[in-house]
Amino acid sequence: MENILQGLNASQLEAVTSTEGFIRVIAGAGSGKTRALARRFAYLVNEIGILPGNILCVTFTNKSANEMRQRIHNLTGDNDTGYISTFHSFCVSVLQEDSHALQYPKSFLVLDNSDIDSMLKIIYEERGLTLRNMTFSKARDMIEIRKLIKEPEYYLDMLNMSLDTLRQKYLTATEPSDIIFYGYLYQEKKCFGLDYNDLIKFTLYIFEQNEAVKIKWQQRLEYIMIDEFQDIDELQYKLMTVLCGYHKNLFIVGDPDQTIYTWRGAKVDIILDFEKIVADINPETGLRMSDVERMQHRTRNETPILIAEDSQLLSKMIVNCLEQAGYTNLTTTANGKECWDKLQEYNASGDLDSKVACIITDIEMPQMDGHRLTKLVKENGDMNHIPVVIFSSLVNQEMKIKGEQLGADAQLSKPEIGQLVAAIDKLVGNE
């Protein structure tokens, strides 16, 4: 077996050994992202004692999944590599185990393109269609678009309609696209077949309708890791948020510049808004506006505050909250580097103290995180008098210790917007 931690640089080592909570790794091609993910899996198994079957490791191709299994096997020496698969393959595992919740047999068929074409051939012959109406390739694309975009509730017909009712819907259709689409749904139901689009839809349906099954899978999957996260689409993202709902341990790696699945609905911007991911999985981390609304009327305050927050949504919410609390002289930046550049600009022009009386920073941000920003501020003789408030969903005990060591003046988790205002009041002498 290979030494799990051998050969890792400082950043990779931190990624591998930071096991709890929400962790995002953004790095370019060739930087060792996938290597770090494999080492982290092995670290969880060999050092922490987590069973491989309690870890879900997602890749976006079967080839990548096979390569990942081999990597992890070489590291752990264990033939059991848990759930290392694509989202679709994982859903097959869920459906095979819990198909009873859909009244489907465990032996349901997973349809590939050749299976779909065989069904289309039956439909075309039965309803007198030819390739002039629509080629099989275009028909497959049409079916996928209708399932994903135009008729996302299609699966309810497959699940709730009787076979005879669905057949009548198919036989009474007149437009070629309707004939093909409903004929295909009928053929799927008839043979208990599911295509790739169905796998995630049906899995989510089981989780929505059967709380016991959902909790079983949530509790089983203690750690969820996703490679090439920039390629995730909305359905996969929804599945991820459900699965993370119990243990709330998510590790994602990716490179926004490397997405290859935008044509299939990949949302590359999701990886850039890490706070939204955390809030979607753990809604209690969202800002509690009521904390501010309960405050009594406050006078206008021109104290200049500089904010570093990469989530546009959360940045706007923080600004709205602070304005409601009376603070109106606010400057926002999109990440730690942009904030640091602005601080240097103000310092060079002699305007630092008139422009910044307090800094609010998130932790996880692209280009420069909040801890690095705090360190730079507190090590700079011209700036170290400026109070720094770390305000993040990621503030746990470990993070607090690190923040204290770096010199942060206050550290608060995202729900505590009322406490944020109180901390700023204290730090800037506005109590």
Q: Tens digits of per-residue pLDDT, 196-225?
A: 999 999 999 999 999 999 999 999 999 999
Same-domain status, 76 and 128: no
Among 172, 191, 210, the domain boundary falls at 191
**Is 341 among the domain residues?**
yes
105 in Cβ contact with 75 (< 8 Å) = no
| Strand, helix or coil for residue 84 | strand
Residue 3 in any domain: the answer is: no
Q: Are 309 and 379 in the same domain? A: yes
152: which DSSP letter? T
Write out the two tokens for 233: 């689409």
CATH for 82? 3.40.50.300
Distance CA 63, CA 113 (A): 18
For residues 80 and 163, membership in a common domain is answered with: no
Q: What is the pTM of this model?
A: 0.70
Does residue 282 lie within any of the structural domains?
no
CA 367 to chain centre: 19
Domain count for the chain: 3
d(CA 362, CA 395): 9
Same domain, 238 and 305: no
3-state secondary structure of 431: coil
Q: Are residues 400 and 295 part of one domain?
A: yes
Q: Could you say which of 191, 216, 238 is where a domain stops?
A: 191
Residues 15 and 63 in one domain: yes
pLDDT at 289: 47
Domain boundary (191, 220, 254) is at 191
Instruction: Give the per-residue pLDDT at 59.
Output: 92
User: Does residue 5 sit within a domain?
Assistant: no
Q: Locate tokens 């911007």: which residue?
A: 269
Per-residue pLDDT, 263: 43
Q: Are residues 300 and 407 in the same domain?
A: yes
In angstroms, rounded to a whole number, what is the distance separating the alpha carbons of residues 239 and 205? 10
The answer to whether residues 245 and 387 belong to one domain is no
Domain assignment present for residue 103? The answer is: no
Instruction: List the CATH number of the domain containing 363.
Output: 3.40.50.2300
Encode the chain (431 residues) as per-residue pLDDT tens digits. Answer: 457 888 888 878 888 888 888 888 877 766 677 888 999 999 999 999 999 999 999 998 999 999 999 989 888 887 777 899 999 999 999 999 999 888 898 889 999 999 999 999 999 999 999 999 999 999 999 999 999 889 999 999 999 999 999 999 999 999 999 999 999 999 999 999 999 999 999 999 999 999 999 999 999 999 999 998 888 988 999 999 999 999 989 999 888 776 555 445 555 567 767 767 777 777 655 554 444 444 455 577 889 999 999 877 678 878 888 888 889 899 999 999 999 999 999 999 999 999 999 999 988 887 898 999 999 999 999 999 999 999 887 667 778 889 999 999 999 876 566 678 888 989 987 65
Both 368 and 319 in one domain: the answer is yes
Please tell me whether residues 216 and 75 are part of one structural domain.
yes
Q: What is the pLDDT of residue 136?
A: 97
SS3 category, 30: coil
C-alpha pair distances (Å), 410 with each of 165, 294, 392: 63, 22, 11
- Does residue 278 sit within a domain? no
Tell me, yes or no, whether 349 and 396 share the same domain.
Answer: yes
As a residue count, the chain comes to: 431
Residue range of the domain that includes 33: 10-94+201-272
Give the CA distances from residue 38 to residues 47, 68, 343, in Å, rounded to whole numbers and listed in that order. Answer: 14, 7, 39
Instruction: For residue 370, tell me if it sits in a domain.
Output: yes
Cβ neighbours of residue 236 closer than 8 Å, sequence gap 6 or more: 87, 200
* Shared domain check, 205 and 89: yes
Q: What's the confidence (pLDDT) of residue 43? A: 93
Is 404 contained in some domain? yes
